[in-house]
Structure 1
Amino acid sequence: MTSDISTQFSFTRFKQDLIKKDKRRLLSWANCELYVAFYRNASGQDLPGLIQVDSQQRYVASSSQDTLKKAMTNIKLEDDSKIVIKTLSLAELARNAHFYHLSIHLIDQDDGLAIGGVLMQLLGITAILEDAGGKEVIYEADVFSFEPEGNAETLPYGAVQYWRDIALEYTPDREPSEINSLYVFDDQLDWDNPLFPELPDNAKALSKLSSSAKAFFEHMRVPPLTSWEEKSATPDVPEPSYQNSLLGVSKLSTFNVLRAMVDQDIVPVADDIALTITKDSAHDDEPADSAERWEVKISFTTPMGFNAVFDPDWIEASLCKANTELPDTTGTHLASEKLRERIVNHLAWNFFQHVRSFVKTLFSTDLQGLLPGFIVNSYGPFQPDYTDERFPCLARFKCGENGVPVLLLGPNEGNYVCMPLAFEEIPESDVSPLIPRRSELISIESKSMPLAERYERLVIPASLIDFPGHWYQGIRVSNRYLKTKFIFGMHLNSLINEMGKDRATTAGNSLKWVVAGCAAAALIGVMVVMNL
């Protein structure tokens, strides 16, 4: 490798493509190699060098080794440590910047450029490939990591990836049937292992892909660079830890790590949880003497600083008034301590089911089943007992070959009140005659019992409920990944909620790339926002 690789990467031409907003041309720079500053500490560990500009942290890179060394000469280091220069492709550096929510500071002889945001997605996790028919397809990869992180018995980073079929240019007439997003998995691993998470339907084996697609998969599965402040996505489990007599200690060890994250990073103190209750307007097709209904919205700002927005629930006012842990009037109220504890457990068990699979979600329905409501195969309503610490919890409804994951919400005359956590159609022959009002649950058209995910409550005999060990002790998608996706989902839900308030029917699809022109020696820039 020579001391100058500017023939491979042209700062000037890259900047021109950026100004032109030419995504295809910008993507062509991804494989160019750059010199990148690393920090070698006293123990010999190399960490990517970061500079701080305002509140933004950036990797530092250049197409010229001499220019990069010169820029680093005034950096103050600890004793027995030094700056080392390594080469990485722009794609690899951008992939790590995207993973850690950082930017890249590109240095030229007398110029500088800070790039970040969606440009890191384009350069770091996007590829132009060909499908089986030789047609161009552009994929953006979402890579799964797994728990327990760093454990030899877990799945390797990137063993499963979700490839979104995207378009570099906006195409308003693109049909949904033309979008071919897919899950890709490493089929050299033993996916018959019951401890592995369940693969999505129609997931594609790596061995069946084209050579270019295989190369993209391998690029995306390389573990990220070590972070300066690498730490677990979850806090330590407090003592005494959460207990549940239905499950036992051995089935709760991994759940308790996830629950600690929800308790400390997601759900604030009770006084910061708002229940907004409004009277639901009567519908034209309802009798005049219909029971009063309330719309109940639960919202809060997480300890991490972002708003959590969930779908509202509609319940009869009398059910709310009858529960001592819930408000008995309309308006905005604060949660009780018992209700806060139930919210933590409700979210944690929903999250636990999410990380047992690869299903995409925005988390907006994860508080469904928390409040009182009616049961589809019972004549009476369900009134949760928020002092009963056994509920909610994950369980299996035994029907069919594999059973259906459900959230147990409470007891009901020898049965359990359950909420399905997956969309399923159970063949009539697999539906137990022990289920109350069984005939009313069977669809005449499909000859099956349809189950809606996080929508309805059922009473199921206790004899049809069990708790298979591998559901609680198996390998799961990592807490770090879950937290990242939850933050994204809540931001998107907040945006949708605001759009609803404004009665907006459309929203602009502008993307913002941050570009900074700055002096290389001083490493200080003036930020400019460009709308694409």
Structure 2
Amino acid sequence: MTSDISTQLSFTKFKQDLIKKDKRRLLSWANYELYVAFHRHESGQEAPALLQGENEARYIAANDQETLQRFLTNAKFADGSDLLIKALPLAELARNAHLYNLSIQLIDKEDRLTIGGALMQLFGITAILKDDGGNEVIYEADAFFFEPEGGAETLPYGAVQHWRDIELEYTSTQEPSEIKSLYVFDDQLDWNNPHFPELPENAKALSELSSSAKAFFEHIRVPPLMGWEEKPATPHVPESLYQNSLLGADNHGAFNVLRAMVDKNIVPAANDIVLTITKDSKHGDEPADSPERWEIQIRFTTPLGFNAVFSPDWVEASLCKANKELPDNTGTHLASEKLRERIVNHLAWNFFQHGRSFVKTLFSTDLQGLLPGFIINSYGPFQPDYTDERFPCLARFQCGENGVPVLLLGPNESNYVCMPLAFEEIPESDVSPLIPRRNELISMESKSMLLAERYERLVIPASLIDFPDHWYQGIRVSNQYLKAKFIFGMRLNTLMTEIENEKATAAGSSLKWIVAGCAAALIGVMVVMNL
């Protein structure tokens, strides 16, 4: 996106720049004007017309109105729909194409040109800006969608955005410490409202941005052309709505809608959930008589048709053998019905917490804590009871000013076994003396207790755990947005797992094809002449 005044796009020059593949030059076309086909329904609602291709749908646009009108002469829409032609900048049309995974069919007097893939990101959600020091930074923006609890007022689309620092030309010179990605939020809203999601640390207020950065924020926050309003999910069996005695009666509604989506769209039937168990090799520094450990990886194909692969966990074999819902030997196994139910709830509560925050994730660790394991401040292992329907459950560990989100995994005498859902460094003065083996949790160097996100289990006294109503009733990132990000994350996880499992020579060959495929997607151009 640039600050140029919108002018009519020259089809010939645009096509020449596409062939040159100079992304900086291509970005200069973002605000050029296109004429776009719309149709108006009997209800008065207007939506972009779509051209259905063999493998994709496309917006229909031209660089002049007369050419588009001729192309649409024989177009047929649903009964009661009227044809409209509207002028839009390429940046706006590309932003919507990116949101809905569409392409753009450009029409000229003699040629047609289909652009899609990463070009939609370049034209629609990318800008060249300046940082506080006057240095050039290229940002790619992601706007958050929100949904309320029970139809209450929600945050407007794009009120919070994540701007990722990217390079238009890959040089591999940028160190991770130099990446300047940031969260930007509209500070005219009341972020002291407890029902608002918690802003990320160091998020930047819109009012503090430069004029060009403010313009980019406003471009990204324009509501999409097609509504993203998600129809409320309904459970497969309405009478089996999730209830948890740990939560207040009014704190189940939003979770039930989200859980229904996970149950319907994410987790398949139990006999389609695969547990791959292999014997873990002993490390050189381990005693010869150390207990046998198993590496367990869970994967499945979702009802939507994509593969979900999660990070493996390492469990003592004896703990698995002692749990009747888990396999008692290595190999490939299918999940039990009780284990499937726990997977649904485990993922749903992790999704719920993702919706309360803005942390970027690939979701690969969202099943951590599902299996037996050791507790860092207890002498005994954790053995989950998959028949206890109270667990897992989102809760607050009262420690410090705001408290730490944790996933309750099960009871432990007068304590709960918890897994932190956020990285926190808690000053020693805020760490309660009631916590078992407290001193062993305090770092002697930092004089603080470090909690790792979705990594370790610890026991916390029940008196330090509570369930604040606004955590369950507040505004969250929308379920549909979470589902879209989960699909993206799992596709990437699957790809990386396949690469890791390849032999060295095969991996090299596969990687060449992957790089070639990425390069093709990056350009995302197909020229169709004289059609």
Letter of the 2:527 counterpart: G
Partner of 1:9: 9
How far apart, CA to CA, are the structure 2 residues paired with 1:232 and 1:69? 33
Greater mean alpha carbon deviation, residues 265-274 or residues 240-249: 240-249
Partner of 1:530: none
How far apart, CA to CA, are the structure 2 residues paired with 1:93 and 1:152? 30
1:239 pairs with 2:238:
yes
Secondary structure of 1:76's aligned partner: coil
Mapped contact 1:369–1:457 kept (Cα < 8 A):
yes
How far apart, CA to CA, are the structure 2 residues paired with 1:425 and 1:79? 61
How far apart, CA to CA, are the structure 1 residues paired with 2:231 and 2:381? 39
Runs ≥4 residues deviating over 6 A:
none
How far apart, CA to CA, are the structure 1 residues paired with 2:229 and 2:474? 22
How far apart, CA to CA, are the structure 2 residues paired with 1:249 and 1:306? 35
Greater mean alpha carbon deviation, residues 336-345 or residues 275-284: 275-284
Instruction: Kindly report which structure 2 residues correspond to 1:348-367, keeping only aligned pairs within 5 A, or say none.
Output: 348-367=348-367
- Change in CA separation of 1:501 and 1:80 when aligned onto 2, cut-off 3 Å: closer
Secondary structure of 2:356's aligned partner: coil
Letter of the 2:425 counterpart: E
- Change in CA separation of 1:304 and 1:80 when aligned onto 2, cut-off 3 Å: closer
Letter of the 1:239 counterpart: P
Deviations 1:384-442 (A, max 9, x none): 00000000000011111111111000011111111111111211111111111111111
1:140 pairs with 2:140:
yes
TM-superposed deviation, 1:132: 2.0
1:515 pairs with 2:514:
no
Deviations 1:198-252 (A, max 9, x none): 111111110010101000000100000125xx66276323412111010033111
Partner of 2:414: 414
- Change in CA separation of 1:153 and 1:210 when aligned onto 2, cut-off 3 Å: same
Deviations 1:254-275 (A, max 9, x none): 0111111110000000000000
Partner of 1:113: 113
Letter of the 1:290 counterpart: S
Secondary structure of 1:355's aligned partner: helix
Letter of the 1:213 counterpart: A
1:56 pairs with 2:64:
no
TM-score w.r.t. length of structure 2 = 0.94
Secondary structure of 2:482's aligned partner: helix
Instruction: Kindly report which structure 2 residues correspond to 1:161-310, keeping only aligned pairs within 5 A, or say none.
Output: 161-226=161-226, 232=230, 235-237=233-235, 238-240=237-239, 241-310=241-310
TM-superposed deviation, 1:133: 2.3
How far apart, CA to CA, are the structure 2 residues paired with 1:225 and 1:375? 50
Mapped contact 2:148–2:474 kept (Cα < 8 A):
no
Deviations 1:103-129 (A, max 9, x none): 000000011001100000000000111
TM-superposed deviation, 1:348: 0.5
How far apart, CA to CA, are the structure 1 residues paired with 2:441 and 2:7? 69
The percentage of counterpart residues that share the same residue type is: 75
Mapped contact 2:149–2:475 kept (Cα < 8 A):
no
Mapped contact 2:96–2:124 kept (Cα < 8 A):
yes
After superposition, the CA RMSD in angstroms is 1.8
Structure 2: unaligned runs, 5 residues or longer: none
TM-superposed deviation, 1:148: 2.5
Greater mean alpha carbon deviation, residues 131-140 or residues 397-406: 131-140
TM-superposed deviation, 1:282: 1.3
How far apart, CA to CA, are the structure 2 residues paired with 1:255 and 1:511? 40
Deviations 1:350-369 (A, max 9, x none): 11111111111111111010
How far apart, CA to CA, are the structure 1 residues paired with 2:398 and 2:35? 57
Partner of 2:45: 45
Deviations 1:52-98 (A, max 9, x none): 11021000000111110000011123443221111110000000000
TM-score w.r.t. length of structure 1 = 0.94
Instruction: Kindly report which structure 2 residues correspond to 1:86-105, keeping only aligned pairs within 5 A, or say none.
Output: 86-105=86-105
